[in-house]
Amino acid sequence: MYIPSKPFTCLDGSLTIPYEFVNDDYCDCKDGTDEPGTSACPNGRFFCENKGYVGSLIPSHFVGDGVCDCCDGSDEYETKTVCNNTCFELAQKTQAEREAQRVLHEAGVAKKKEIISKSIAIKSERQTHIDELERDLQSVENELKEKEELKRQAEIPENQAKEKHQKLWDEQRAVRETIIRNYQIRDMFADLDTNGDSLVSIDELQKHTELDLDNENEFTIEEVRTILGSDSVTLDEFNTTVFDQISNSYKRLPKPTTPIPEPTLDSIATPSSSVETSTDEKNMESHDETPIATSLEHEKHIHDDTPPEFDDETKQLIAIADQTRTEFDQVQGKVLDIKRQIEDLKKQVNIDVGVQGEYSAFIDQCFDYEEREYTYRVCMFKDAKQIPKGGGGDVAIGFWDAWTGPIENKYLRMKYVNGATCWNGPARSLTVTFRCGIEHKIIDVREPSRCEYAMIFETPSACDEKMAVTSSHSTHTEF
């Protein structure tokens, strides 16, 4: 390429120049190839011979800048800068480092192999376990079917007895309500019928202005007649046409001369008394002057009622049915439990733990890293947390997402995402980078960007068989 006395053509073919222009400290070629020995071209490459070490190409802008970049100092050949030749020391150092790495990887790979073989065993154990559980599941599901049938059978007589009981109770309640209504009607009628002619007339009702529902002006005769349907009504007519219209608004008129006694509702307070007194008119009349509570109070009394206890026969049927239900629930719980176990195991089996299962030892494992202010905890394939040492709640910095290493080494990194959101920032996330080590150990946790955490993790799982081998030929030949 660089042949004296012959014109030089730039390696990209863009220009041919006299040979004197090569390395004359002026950049002619666009690709920088005419100045391999000077800094003239911004994109040139300078070759450091580096005898005793590895020869290397450096950017030509490192040439002649007063910084020794080649270990043989050849990049500063033209400057006043004095460069010591460090190639021998560098070679030794590199060799030592390489050996240390090799030893490390060798030890690591041994452990890694253990993990892998264990992984195979664990994996088959898990599969066996799953198979067992699936068999169990089948038999328990059969049992469940039986229990369900028993339950169904016990619930039939139980329901019948309960329905009967309910029906009886509904009837009793209907009777009681009728009695109360009759009582109210009679009482109200008596109250309205101020002249005692057994008729409620327009002028008698007109005194009850509270019934003037439009509230516009006065309670006119016409309005009263609309309520009564005629000029006067008998008790029966009152019952059928008037009572329902007025019962909600109706108020007893004050009787200034007679002091109002305390209301005594004992007679209708309980269903039993009301049932008993249903035919006792005298008893009722004795309460003639007693003010009647508003309809709301009546309803309250009615609805306060609780049904009576079941009879013994029904109780027994319920007890039998309860027993079958409990047994059914127990078996159903067993089914769910087995299903969950199977699911968990399948999840574990499905976790991507490396090509050979080298990361299988991480399953269900958590690791801590103690720092000045926080403990960082990563639970593998699950989540990562930041736990403040000075108290205060844990902060989720991410949940398991995926392996995110480069294509050629996918298992170099893993990522946890969607942690707690930062103010003015993203949701927290963690990237774990693995490197070879003898133990599983977090080496460092940082937050290079706000809320984006980076963890370095040493593990035998990341050790490389190729690195564990004694240096190959290619590196040796260069010494």
Partner 1 sequence: MSRFFHLLNLIFILYILNIPPSENVDRNNFKTCEQSAFCRRQRKYKPDISPYEVDLRSMKTIQSGHLQFILHNTLKSPIKFQLDIFTLEHNSLRVKINERNPIRKRYEVEHALVGEPKLVDVKLTNLDGKQVEGSFGKSAKFLLNAKPFRLDLFTNGIFVMSVNSKNMFNFEHYRTKPGTNESTGENNTEDNEDGMWEETFKTHQDSKPYGPSSIGVDVNFLNFENVYGIPEHADAFSLRSTHDTDPYRLFNLDIFEYDIQNPMALYGSVPYMLAHNEHATVGFFWLNAAEGWIDVNNDKLTVQGFFSTIASFFSTKPTADKNEVPQVSTHWMFESGIFDGFFFLGPTPRDIFKQYSVITGSVPLPPLWAIAYHQCRWNYNDEDDVRSVLNGFEKNVIPLDVIWLDIEHTHGKRYFTWDTQKFPNPEKLQDDIARYGRKLVTISDPHIKKDDAYQVYADAKALGYFVKTKDGADYEGSCWPGASMWLDYFNPDIFQWYSQRYSLENYKGSTGNLFIWNDMNEPSVFNGPEVTFPKDIIHYGGWEDRDVHNLYGMLQHMSTFQGLFNRSNGHIRPFILTRSFFAGSQRTAAVWTGDNAAQWSYLKIATPMLLSLSVTGFGFSGADVGGFFSNPDAKLLVRWYQAAAFQPFYREHAHIDTARREPWLFGPDNTRLIRKAIEQRYNYLPYWYTLFYKQEKQGIPPMLPLWANFPKDKNVFKTEDLFMVGNGLLVCPITEADTNQVSIYFPGENTIWYDTRTLIQYNGSETVLINVDMESIPVFQQGGVIIPKRLRRRRSSMLALHDPITLVVALDRNHEAKGELYMDDGYTYDYKHKRQMIYRRFIFRNNELHSKTLDFTGKFETDAWIERILIFGYPKNPKKVIINSGDKQAIPLHHYHAESQMLTIRRPGPLVASDWTLTIT
Q: Does 446 bind partner 1 (CB under 8 A)?
A: yes
Q: Does 386 bind partner 1 (CB under 8 A)?
A: no
CB closer to partner 1 out of 58 and 107: 58
Rounded CA separation 99/89 (Å): 15
Q: Does 61 bind partner 1 (CB under 8 A)?
A: yes
Distances (CA, A) of 389 to 305, 369, 446: 60, 12, 16
Q: Does 30 bind partner 1 (CB under 8 A)?
A: no
Distances (CA, A) of 116 to 77, 103, 123: 54, 20, 10
Nearest to 206 by CA among 187, 186, 234, 232: 232
Q: Which residue has the tokens 């133990």?
A: 439
CB of 272 to partner 1, least distance (A): 60
Q: Does 42 bind partner 1 (CB under 8 A)?
A: yes
Structure tokens at 78: 């033209």
Q: Does 426 bind partner 1 (CB under 8 A)?
A: yes
Q: Where are the alpha helices (DSSP H) in 265-362?
A: 266-269, 271-276, 281-285, 295-304, 312-350
Q: How many CB atoms lie within 10 A of CB 99?
A: 12
Instruction: Write the DSSP assignment of 170-190 as a string of letters.
Output: HHHHHHHHHHHHHHHHHHHHH
Size of the site for partner 1 (CB under 8 A): 25
Q: Which stretch binds partner 1 (CB under 8 A): 240-248, 313-321, 445-453, 471-479?
A: 445-453
Q: Which stretch binds partner 1 (CB under 8 A): 135-143, 159-167, 226-234, 417-425?
A: 417-425
CB closer to partner 1 out of 306 and 423: 423
**Beta pairing class for 232-233 and 200-201:** antiparallel
Rounded CA separation 135/127 (Å): 12
- Encoded amino acid at 22, one letter: V
At residue 150, φ and ψ (nearest 5 deg) are: -60, -40
- Encoded amino acid at 48, one letter: C
CB closer to partner 1 out of 211 and 432: 432
Nearest to 191 by CA among 285, 65, 306, 315: 285
CB closer to partner 1 out of 196 and 406: 406
Q: Does 155 bind partner 1 (CB under 8 A)?
A: no
Q: How many CB atoms lie within 10 A of CB 259?
A: 6
Q: Which stretch binds partner 1 (CB under 8 A): 128-136, 218-226, 384-392, 423-431?
A: 423-431
Selected binder of partner 1 within 372, 466, 473, 476 (CB under 8 A): 372
Q: Does 389 bind partner 1 (CB under 8 A)?
A: no
CB of 15 to partner 1, least distance (A): 11
Q: Which of residues 112-151 bind partner 1 (CB under 8 A)?
A: none
Q: Does 67 bind partner 1 (CB under 8 A)?
A: yes
Q: Does 240 bind partner 1 (CB under 8 A)?
A: no
Selected binder of partner 1 within 10, 47, 52, 59 (CB under 8 A): 59
CB closer to partner 1 out of 52 and 59: 59
Selected binder of partner 1 within 93, 135, 152, 450 (CB under 8 A): 450
Q: Does 66 bind partner 1 (CB under 8 A)?
A: yes
Nearest to 179 by CA among 276, 244, 265, 293: 276
Structure tokens at 326: 């409990």
Per-position x/- string for 243-282, each x denoting binding to partner 1 as judged by CB under 8 A, each - no binding: ----------------------------------------
Q: Does 20 bind partner 1 (CB under 8 A)?
A: no
What angle is formed at CA 153 by the lines to CA 148 and CA 157, rounded to 5 degrees? 140
The contact set with partner 1 (CB under 8 A) reads 24-26, 39-40, 42-43, 59, 61-62, 65-67, 372, 422-426, 446-450, 452
